[in-house]
Structure 1
Amino acid sequence: INLVDDAHIFCKPYKYIEVKRGLIKAQIEELLDAKLIEFFNREHAIVTIMSSKINIFNNWIKKQMYGDYRPINKRKKSNRYAMPISKIIFDIIEYVKIFNTLDL
């Protein structure tokens, strides 16, 4: 991640009740055991958010854990690119007969 400056990003954790803290700890242990995440001692610390999901039948299902990456996104270097002119795009794809969603 290319940041604007080299300052550390550290967010104070949200206050959770003991039950939510236990759920967060259990999910982290599960992800560490499955080797889906790794433990690093780095200069950036992000807040964990627990949110409940609703399924298609409007029933609450298990809580999911997310990271709040807004502080990093605010200090990230922008990588904007100019939109190509549509005439140039249509000239390039004039003779193409097969498209997929990645082309669009």
Structure 2
Amino acid sequence: MNRFPLLIAAAATACIATPSLAKDRSVPVYSDYNPYYLDYKTDISEAKRELRSDLRRAKDASSREDAWHEYRREVADAEHDFRKEMAERGMIVRRGRVTVEE
């Protein structure tokens, strides 16, 4: 009994059934099913850890302000990257709102 055609059929079914943002617009943008949103959440989490660490080591007001400035810059960069990835997939993200371009 040749199992090769069965394996090909199973693999094809898995590929078709797997949701992707490019093909299936029913995948929520702000969910863990979206790998770009997971990257965004990871970047924000890392920025928060760095901020806490920098604030613990800060000796004066200038050092604390530098830490906050770096944090805001990293958050802005993460948001930019997320919006860019979504735009490449036809989804425009602005302040938590998503517009799907046809």
- The TM-score normalised by the length of structure 1 is 0.23
Which one has a bigger Cα radius of gyration?
A: 1
TM-score under structure 2 length normalisation: 0.23
Structure with higher helix content: 2
Higher relative contact order (CA 8 A, sep 6+): 1
